[in-house]
Amino acid sequence: MPFPKEDMAHVKEPQQMPVVPRSWFLPSLFAAFNVMLLVFLSGLFFGFPCRWLAQNGEWVFPMVTGPLFILTFFSLVSLNFSDPGILHRGSVDEDPMMVYVVSVNQRAFRLQWCPKCCFHRPPRTYHCPWCNICVEDFDHHCKWVNNCIGHRNFRLFMVLVLSLCLYSGTLLITCLIFLIRTSHLPFSVDKIMAVLVAAPAAGFLIPLVLLLLIQAISVSTAERSCESKCRNHQEYNPFDQGFARNWYLTMCAPLSPKYMSEVVCLQRPVGTEWIYEKTQPLPLCPPEHCSPGPPGPSDPADPLGKGPRGGGEAVIVLKEVRKAEAPVGKSPGGGAGPEAGVPGLCITVWVPGELIRRLLKAFPSGAT
């Protein structure tokens, strides 16, 4: 049967690889550059001024700066790949005209509709335009790590800012002490490297300290960066539960399970289980009440069997059995059946005859 020219051109043309959008590539490259900058400056510090101090008996400097570097590097990399509290996307069947209102400490909040994620956002949930996701308890989008800061990674963000402040201050003080101790010595490579490390450390230290103070005030008053810009809580903040309680809920309270894992749990079947039943071999032409075999061109006769390949000499039928006291949603293999929960469902799986004969040869009838 001849194909139209449009279909032939569609079949012949190879599928092109998707092009990486620049809006995603450049921020990721900038975040990777920040990690490499931290490693590069730390390498210069530990290789030159810190090494000279350790060789002259000042072991306190590497003992203090070493753990701070490990903490800073670990928190920076972890924040790059952390989950800020992503809410799963809704369904197209959701009605955007529905109105949902929730109350938080005697203040009503109307849930806003997100047209991109197709669901009504809970309070303090915003859609990040850079990541194209809805984040619970959204604070801001950090371009330095190319990730959103929200409910699940805000405490990691605070650890990163605090460790960066301590590490930058330690680098600056150590380099200054090194330059003072070596002022009577001639100019060397160690002094050049100390200046190269001290200059960025001093430049980053002041903004980091200011950022740490701003975030500390936000946690104390239960405010968020995006809310302070929009001034949503003009009268009073219903999320404010006091200074100590705010710090506990932000930094120490246990986190709830991820929303995607809860969705998987909700999709598990309830009250049914599946059993396997092997039926007798079917004839070459199955009855009308059975499902036909997979479509395909007719193959020549199989010299070892009684019908064509893929003709379906045996089938495996999955039947649903309801039991009042049976375990919830368990299949014979121990996992949850993916098709459970649909009453009266029967699935017929067609197995090629050649595969059945190979299985019978490999596992005789007397084998367990």
Q: Which residues are catalytic?
A: 142
Neighbours of 136 (CB within 10 A): 19
Using CA atoms, how far apart are residues 342 and 331, in angstroms rounded to an integer?
14
Q: Three-state DSSP class for 213?
A: helix
Using CA atoms, how far apart are residues 312 and 282, in angstroms rounded to an integer?
7
* Contact predicate 15/128, CB 8 Å: no
Q: How far is CA 317 from CA 68, 310, 345, in A?
A: 61, 17, 10
Record the tokens describing residue 279, joined without a space: 């039926």
Using CA atoms, how far apart are residues 368 and 78, in angstroms rounded to an integer?
49
Q: Element (H or E) spanning 55, and its range?
A: helix 49-55
Using CA atoms, how far apart are residues 89 and 120, in angstroms rounded to an integer?
10
Cβ contacts of 274 within 8 Å, gap of 6 or more: 318, 319, 320, 321, 331, 332, 337, 339, 340
Record the tokens describing residue 311, joined without a space: 């003709």
* Contact predicate 80/142, CB 8 Å: no
* Contact predicate 255/152, CB 8 Å: yes
